[in-house]
């Protein structure tokens, strides 16, 4: 860290050391585990860093954090003393917007792995999937389609590109952003979609110049194709097991599932002792505007499944939120985020001028008022997808009209990709947090070419304004939105801090080619510490759980991650290497759930437990390329032997 910050940390640490010495007067309980000799970043309010630090855990809870001297009286005959050997300890990561079952199904099914593909490469992957399931006649659902990247190199897609595949099966390809699908003629036929079918409310059936459906179904028009594919032959439980295996490996100990109906997968895993994350869930129904039903079903889910309190050594599930979509997604192929000024169109001579489209609304202001009021009256929190500046402003206006300051867990705005300058301070004024996906502030296929031209330079310069919004007082909690992107928290942290990807990290668009290397724009970024707080204590604040999780403090749960190098120290980890931190150990409630087996400090029992969890047949069936999602190259060129 910079010298100035360092002295601030030392000053704060002096205060906390005093606290520790007071606490020392009471005898410490005997610890199950005592870590020693680590660099501990507590992420408490004082930003305490302890070099050569110790941390004691008794029955899943932290009972001492401090110098080795402070904690040594916690050692008893049964205490496991673990020498961290200078490794770095931070709180378990919290991801407040993620889709674990979509991610699990993507890893277990047919996936395009986020690659920017030519038509030929796209067809080859899908044909291989078809050929691997002889005799199958139902829908083939394909995931992780980089539609923007595909469009940049192939032009607008068309169902004919899929109809030439050797199959009679219906095919649905889900775009990475999850808001639109690309289907073949057989799927259109099964959905009874013809040139005469009107667009559903809140959705668009893509059509070519002759009015013929192209096979692209936007937003609310995409639901029926997904429904037809059902669970893709992948049981909910298996999808959950697959997702958890990656979350623990990446240091994520608590998640908020951003859209889900009741299910028993977490209950089953908890009974087995295999629930390796604390799981919060937003109840929601994509496309539905039947608010009384949504809220009553959310309450029923809460009554049935919510565990009222968080328990240190027994991670559980919590159903306290409702999800609603205010608008759609930004890219030019969709133009579905709600904007204050219209998307730009090419006037025919290469000049981009305001067109007529402001985006696709899912609700008007009075409906938004109704869903927010009903949800809060029911004692639930509302998690709102609002991407464009008009969607964000409408939510802020509705909240302002309620004439009160909100608790952070009451109204959360997810994404807020574009925010009007005059709205920036309103989040803090109203008490409304932003759930931000830091990794969207990288140069990427979805921000290139026409995606930039339809927004225009002024709006492009304000996109993903995480640093600016933080500076305006907004509370930013991190949400990966996995599987919209590969799950890679340290890449996301790096992009939050640098506003650029890492060409050496295959999950970064910078690995696709020189066009995506370098800083996105000149906007202020987040500091390393604020970015990490967004994944720890700020995220816990959004989940109203700071008494249990989010920092390493006495009395809180031992949800802990040990990483190889000091993410917060600019000397130990220069900016260009920030995306390459490695998780060595993940603990939840004092129990190891992931251990890197190349690490010498980890006790063999913990490695054995990590291996036991990963020996689940579902985890073993994951194809490596589907996990760290991109395969060797980001872009496949037309020429087979030319790789970027
Ligand atoms: C350990 O914690 C659990 C759950 O928090 C609690 O039920 C149990 O009584 C505790 N055990 C001891 C020995 O304190
Ligand atoms: C399509 O139309 C057929 C015949 O009218 C009907 O049986 C079927 O349910 C329709 N499918 C959908 C998805 O609407
Ligand atoms: C989505 O479409 C369905 C009909 O297909 C309609 O009932 C629903 O209101 C639409 N949702 C939105 C948000 O427009
Ligand atoms: C393009 O057309 C607009 C009118 O729509 C005109 O104002 C502008 O000068 C033209 N630009 C060029 C480069 O021809
Ligand atoms: C909002 O939409 C609902 C449902 O379509 C409609 O009944 C209502 O009149 C609309 N209200 C306003 C103010 O436009
Ligand atoms: C936050 O949690 C506390 C219990 O820890 C509860 O009393 C309070 O009502 C919660 N706040 C909200 C807004 O749900
Ligand atoms: C460590 O894990 C890797 C990958 O899971 C595995 O191939 C290897 O056999 C393991 N090594 C040990 C010593 O357990
Ligand atoms: Zn999402």
Q: How confident is the model at residue 8 (pLDDT cuts 50, 70, 90)?
A: very low
315: Cβ–Cβ under 8 A, 6 or more apart, which residues? 253, 270, 275, 276, 277, 278, 279, 588, 589
Q: How far is CA 610 from CA 27, 218, 329, 518, 591, in A?
A: 33, 41, 38, 37, 10
Q: Is the CB of 609 under 6 A from ligand 6?
A: no
Q: Are residues 400 and 443 in the same domain?
A: yes
The separation between CA 67 and the C-alpha centre of its own chain, rounded to angstroms, equals: 35
Domain count, the chain: 3
How far, in Å, CA of 332 to CA of 344, rounded? 10
**Burial of residue 421, with CB atoms counted within 10 A of its CB: 0-12 exposed, 13-18 middle, 19 or more buried:** exposed
Q: DSSP letter at 639?
A: S
What mean pLDDT is predicted for residues 599-604? 94
Q: Which ligand is nearest to the CA of 102?
A: 8
Q: Is the CB of 307 under 6 A from ligand 1?
A: no
Flag whether 242 is in a domain: no
The pLDDT of residue 25: 54
Q: Are 292 and 300 in contact (CB under 8 A)?
A: no
Flag whether 378 is in a domain: yes
Q: Which ligand is nearest to the CA of 610?
A: 7
Q: Are residues 351 and 498 in the same domain?
A: yes
Q: Is the CB of 403 under 6 A from ligand 4?
A: no
What mean pLDDT is predicted for residues 44-55? 96
Q: How far is CA 149 from CA 42, 512, 578, in A?
A: 40, 10, 26
Residue ending a domain, choose from 472, 506, 535 = 535
3-state SS class at 352: strand
Q: Which pLDDT tens digit goes with each residue over 515-566?
A: 999 999 999 999 999 999 999 999 999 999 999 999 999 999 999 999 999 9
Atom of ligand 3 minimally distant from the CA of 224: 5
Q: Are residues 167 and 48 in the same domain?
A: no
Flag whether 549 is in a domain: no
Ligand 7 centre and the CA of 490: distance in Å? 23
The pLDDT of residue 49: 96
Q: How confident is the model at residue 15 (pLDDT cuts 50, 70, 90)?
A: very low
pTM above 0.95, yes or no: no
State the residue range of the domain holding 579.
Answer: 7-94+554-618
Q: Are residues 406 and 346 in the same domain?
A: yes
How far, in Å, CA of 221 to CA of 199, rounded? 7
Count of residues in the chain = 644
341 token code pair? 């000024």
What mean pLDDT is predicted for residues 149-154? 94
How far, in Å, CA of 390 to CA of 433, rounded? 17
Q: What CATH number is attached to the domain comprising 206?
A: 3.10.310.70
pLDDT more than 70, % of the chain: 93
Which protein residues touch ligand 3 with a CB less than 6 Å away? 200-202, 220, 287, 289, 362
Flag whether 541 is in a domain: no
Flag whether 249 is in a domain: no
How far, in Å, CA of 376 to CA of 73, rounded? 47
What sign for the dihedral angle of Cα 443, 93, 143, 434? Answer: negative
Flag whether 254 is in a domain: no
Q: DSSP letter at 567?
A: T
The pLDDT of residue 624: 65
Q: Are residues 491 and 381 in the same domain?
A: yes
- pLDDT above 90 for 424: yes
Residue ending a domain, choose from 535, 562, 577 = 535
Q: What CATH number is attached to the domain comprising 393?
A: 3.20.20.140
3-state SS class at 223: helix
Mean pLDDT score across all residues of the chain: 92
How far, in Å, CA of 582 to CA of 347, rounded? 49
Residue ending a domain, choose from 209, 231, 253 = 231
Q: Are residues 562 and 530 in the same domain?
A: no
Mutate to test the pocket of ligand 4, among 349, 353, 355 (most ligand atoms within 8 A of CB): 349
Q: How confident is the model at residue 26 (pLDDT cuts 50, 70, 90)?
A: confident
DSSP letter for each residue of 378-396: TT-EEEEEE-SHHHHHHHH
Atom of ligand 4 minimally distant from the CA of 347: 5
Q: How confident is the model at residue 489 (pLDDT cuts 50, 70, 90)?
A: very high
Q: Are 482 and 474 in contact (CB under 8 A)?
A: no
First to last CA, the chain: 35
What mean pLDDT is predicted for residues 615-627? 83
- The residue whose CA is least distant from atom 2 of ligand 2 is 192
The pLDDT of residue 4: 32
Atom of ligand 6 minimally distant from the CA of 407: 13
Q: Which pLDDT tens digit goes with each residue over 86-145?
A: 999 999 999 999 999 999 999 999 999 998 999 999 999 999 999 999 999 999 999 999
Q: Are residues 119 and 225 in the same domain?
A: yes
Question: How crowded is residue 617: how many other Cβ atoms within 10 Å of its Cβ?
Answer: 8
The pLDDT of residue 627: 58
Q: By 3-state DSSP, what share of the chain in percent is helix, strand and coil, each rounded to 5?
A: 35, 20, 45
Q: Are residues 180 and 57 in the same domain?
A: no
Q: DSSP letter at 28?
A: P
- pLDDT above 90 for 630: no
- The residue whose CA is least distant from atom 8 of ligand 6 is 544
How far, in Å, CA of 307 to CA of 281, rounded? 12
Q: Which pLDDT tens digit goes with each residue over 166-210?
A: 999 999 999 999 999 999 999 999 999 999 999 999 999 999 999
- pLDDT above 60 for 325: yes
Q: Are residues 296 and 434 in the same domain?
A: yes
Q: Are residues 64 and 143 in the same domain?
A: no
Flag whether 363 is in a domain: yes
Mutate to test the pocket of ligand 4, among 348, 350, 351, 352 (most ligand atoms within 8 A of CB): 351
Identify which of 52, 50, 57 has the alpha carbon closest to the alpha carbon of residue 14.
50
The pLDDT of residue 586: 98
Q: Is the CB of 366 under 6 A from ligand 5?
A: yes
Atom of ligand 2 minimally distant from the CA of 192: 1
- pLDDT above 60 for 348: yes
Q: Are residues 386 and 418 in the same domain?
A: yes
Flag whether 245 is in a domain: no
Q: Are residues 76 and 156 in the same domain?
A: no
Q: Can you list the positions of beta strands (E) in 430-589?
A: 434-436, 476-478, 560-563, 583-588
Q: What CATH number is attached to the domain comprising 65?
A: 2.30.40.10
């Amino acid at each position: 860290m910079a010298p100035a910050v360092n002295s601030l940390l030392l000053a704060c640490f002096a205060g906390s050391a005093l606290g520790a010495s007071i606490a020392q007067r009471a005898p410490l309980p005997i610890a199950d585990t005592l870590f020693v000799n680590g660099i501990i970043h507590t992420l408490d309010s004082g930003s305490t860093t302890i070099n050569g630090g110790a941390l004691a855990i008794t029955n899943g809870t932290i009972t001492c954090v401090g110098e080795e001297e402070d904690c040594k009286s916690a050692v008893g005959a049964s205490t496991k003393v673990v020498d961290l050997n200078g490794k770095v300890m931070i709180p378990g990561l919290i991801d407040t917007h993620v889709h674990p079952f979509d991610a699990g199904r993507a890893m277990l099914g047919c996936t395009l792995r986020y690659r920017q593909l030519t038509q030929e490469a796209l067809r080859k992957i899908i044909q291989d999937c078809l050929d691997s399931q002889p005799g199958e006649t139902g829908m083939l659902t394909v995931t992780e389609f980089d539609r923007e990247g595909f469009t940049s190199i192939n032009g607008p897609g068309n169902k004919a590109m899929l109809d030439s595949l050797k199959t009679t099966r219906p095919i649905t390809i889900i775009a990475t952003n999850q808001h639109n699908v690309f289907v073949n003629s057989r799927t259109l036929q099964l959905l009874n979609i013809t040139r005469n079918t009107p667009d559903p409310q809140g959705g668009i059936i893509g059509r070519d110049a002759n009015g013929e459906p192209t096979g692209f179904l936007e937003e609310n028009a995409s639901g029926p194709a997904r429904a037809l594919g059902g669970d893709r032959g992948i049981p909910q439980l298996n999808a959950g097991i697959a997702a958890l295996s990656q979350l623990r490996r990446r240091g994520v100990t608590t998640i908020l599932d951003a859209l889900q109906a009741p299910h028993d997968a977490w209950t089953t895993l908890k009974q087995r002792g295999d629930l390796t994350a604390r799981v919060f869930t937003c109840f929601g129904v994509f496309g539905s505007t039947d608010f009384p039903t949504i809220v009553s079903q959310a309450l029923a889910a809460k009554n049935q499944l919510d565990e009222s309190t968080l328990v240190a050594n027994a991670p559980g599930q919590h159903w306290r939120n409702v999800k609603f979509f205010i608008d759609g997604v930004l890219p030019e192929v969709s133009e579905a985020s709600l904007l204050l000024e219209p998307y730009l169109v090419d006037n025919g001579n290469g000049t981009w001028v305001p067109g007529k489209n402001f985006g696709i609304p899912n609700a008007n202001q009075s409906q938004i008022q109704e869903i927010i009021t009903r949800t809060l009256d029911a004692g639930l929190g509302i998690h709102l997808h609002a991407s464009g500046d008009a969607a964000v402003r409408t939510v802020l206006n509705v909240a302002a009209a309620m004439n009160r300051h909100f608790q952070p867990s009451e109204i959360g705005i997810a994404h807020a990709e574009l925010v009007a300058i005059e709205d920036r301070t309103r989040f803090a004024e109203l008490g409304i947090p932003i759930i931000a996906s830091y990794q969207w502030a990288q140069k990427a296929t979805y921000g290139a070419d026409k995606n930039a031209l339809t927004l225009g330079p002024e709006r492009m310069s304000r996109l993903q304004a995480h640093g600016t919004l933080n500076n305006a007082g907004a509370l930013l909690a991190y949400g990966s939105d996995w599987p919209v992107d590969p799950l890679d928290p340290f890449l996301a942290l790096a992009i939050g801090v640098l506003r650029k990807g890492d060409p050496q990290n295959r999950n970064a668009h910078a690995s696709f080619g020189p066009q995506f290397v370098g800083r996105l724009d000149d906007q202020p970024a987040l500091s390393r510490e604020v970015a990490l707080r967004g994944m720890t204590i700020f995220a816990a604040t959004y989940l109203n759980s700071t008494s249990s999780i989010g920092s390493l403090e006495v009395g809180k749960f031992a949800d802990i991650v040990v990483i190889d190098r000091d993410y917060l120290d600019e000397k130990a980890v220069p900016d260009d290497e920030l995306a390459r931190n490695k998780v060595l150990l993940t603990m939840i409630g004092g129990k190891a759930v992931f251990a890197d087996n190349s690490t010498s400090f980890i006790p063999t029992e913990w490695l054995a437990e990590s291996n036991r969890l990963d020996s689940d047949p579902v985890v073993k069936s994951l194809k490596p390329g589907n996990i760290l999602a991109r395969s060797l190259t980001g872009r496949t060129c037309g020429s087979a032997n030319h790789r970027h």
